Structure 1
Amino acid sequence: MSQTEIKNKQIIEAAIAEFQERGFAGASMDRISERAQVSKRTVYNHFDSKEALFKAINKCLFDQLQASMQITFDPNVPIREELRRLGWTQGNILVDPCAMNMARMMMGEILRDPETAENMNRRMDMVRPVKNFLDAAVSAGKLNITDTWVAAEQFLGLIKTRGFYPKLFGEQLSTRKEVEKIIEDAIDMFLCSYGVKA
């Protein structure tokens, strides 16, 4: 990692902490530079405004979530293992302190600014990749689903209701063992409804 990349990372991490603590309106570029242990000039060399810094964090979270969802169904693997792999695309976010801190910070801004919420909702299509995965599983005869869009929402909901939303609103970060239990429970319920009967 280059010196520029290191400083960029320091600034983004400091900004996440600052936005989380004080919100967008209360955040200060001076305090961000202090937290990042870089000069204010360095902060402005990387990001020309507080808005630009906030957008960079938004993009970072979006890119991380999108990258986590790039998963292709493998018809040669047992369906439970494939659903487990799908579940961990969400589970890995739940055990990542940086990702959860960014998510909490973004939630604060979504509540403050409806336009931010609209932009985030438009960009963060988390359901479609799951639907595509389930479409492939149905085509392979591994699942019996009439409406894969609804089933995708249900699968995500089973994990997020127990794993994501409680942590978003302040509970201690989940351990991998806790997330594993949530994912396995979600798979059990999902296969009860959509598993192919022998």
Structure 2
Amino acid sequence: MPTPAPARLTDRKRAAILDAAIAEFRQAGYEATSMDRVAASAGVSKRTVYNHFPSKEVLFAHILRQLMERTLASPELAYRADRPLRAQLLELVRQKMELLQDESFIDLARAGIASVIPSPERAQQMFGRIGDKEEGLVVWIRAAAADGRLNTDDPGFASTFMFGMIKGFAFWPQITMGQPLLTEQQRDRVAQTATDMFLAHFAAA
């Protein structure tokens, strides 16, 4: 059954708001971006923007979450007992690095982090809405441990340990010091090394 025209118009307005917000956050930063600017850039009324997103924090968190979900969506993330452990983990690491080295995500994360540094409460509100997008690795580690292939009773700690290694090369230097994105060769080196170090500690004998 065809979708009613008003619904299609609403979808187009929502898409226009998101596109405009992404451009404004990237160009002007979080603090300088207002719902008025987003509305003007999207060609809609301010009321329309608020009808879709009740606050700037919600709008920004939605954009980050949407980018994460689009980048990390993959049917191969689930643990499989019939596949080599290293190959599975390396795939998970490389998918994470695709997000961390996405130029749009870096720009938006930089804008968001700059805005929440003076306010821990705002950080909790904003990034709490994003959700734990590292949960995929936690689930994978838990399944691999249950299968006797990893030694850990704390999958959350193991996941944080892995991502800490990755972000030290492929996120924080770009966010805090403006370093360039890693080359393909550098990404591969980080992914391979982090995977091997993780398995050297957590893999079952």
Relative to the length of structure 2, the TM-score reads 0.77
- Deviation, 1:190, is 0.8
Paired position in structure 2 for 1:115: 121
Aligned counterpart, 1:85: 91
Structure 1 residues 174-189: aligned runs within 5 Å:
174-189=182-197
* Cα offsets for 1:164-184 (capped at 9, x unmatched): 111112211223332221111
Residue in 2 that maps onto 1:52: 55
Structure 1 Cα separation of the partners of residues 15 and 126 of structure 2: 27
The correspondence for 1:155, drawn from 146, 150, 162, is: 162
Q: CA deviation at 1:5?
A: 5.4
Give the structure-1-normalised TM-score. 0.79
RMSD after superposition: 2.9
Per the alignment, residue 132 of structure 1 pairs with 139
Note if contact 1:8-1:46 (Cα within 8 Å) is conserved in structure 2: no
Separation (CA, whole Å) in 1 of partners of 2:46 and 2:185: 42
Contact 1:47 1:53 in 2 (8 A): no
**Structure 2 CA distance for partners of 1:134 and 1:141, relative to 1, 3 Å:** same
Figure out how many residues of one structure are paired with residues of the other and give that number. Answer: 190
Structure-1 separation of matches of 2:23 and 2:187? 28
Whether 1:7 aligns to 2:16 is yes
Q: Contact (CA 8 Å) 1:87, 1:183: kept in 2 or not?
A: yes
In structure 1, distance between residues paired with 2:153 and 2:109: 32
Q: Which runs of 5+ in 1 are unaligned?
A: none
Q: How far apart in 1 are the matches of 2:174 and 2:155? A: 27
Residue 84 of structure 2 aligns to which amino acid in structure 1? Answer: P
Is the CA contact (8 Å cut-off) linking 2:137 and 2:159 kept in structure 1?
Answer: yes
Q: Which stretches in structure 2 are left out of the alignment for 5+ residues?
A: 1-7
Letter in 2 for 1:178: Q
Aligned with 1:17 (options 17, 26, 32): 26
**1:66 positional shift:** 5.2
Taking the aligned partners of 1:161 and 1:69, their CA distance within structure 2 comes to 23
| Structure 1 partner of 2:4 | none
**Higher-helix-fraction structure:** 1
CA distance in 2, matches of 1:196, 1:97: 37
- Tell me what 1:144 maps to: 151
Paired with 1:18 and 1:45, the residues of 2 have a C-alpha distance of 23
Percent of residue pairs bearing the same amino acid type: 21
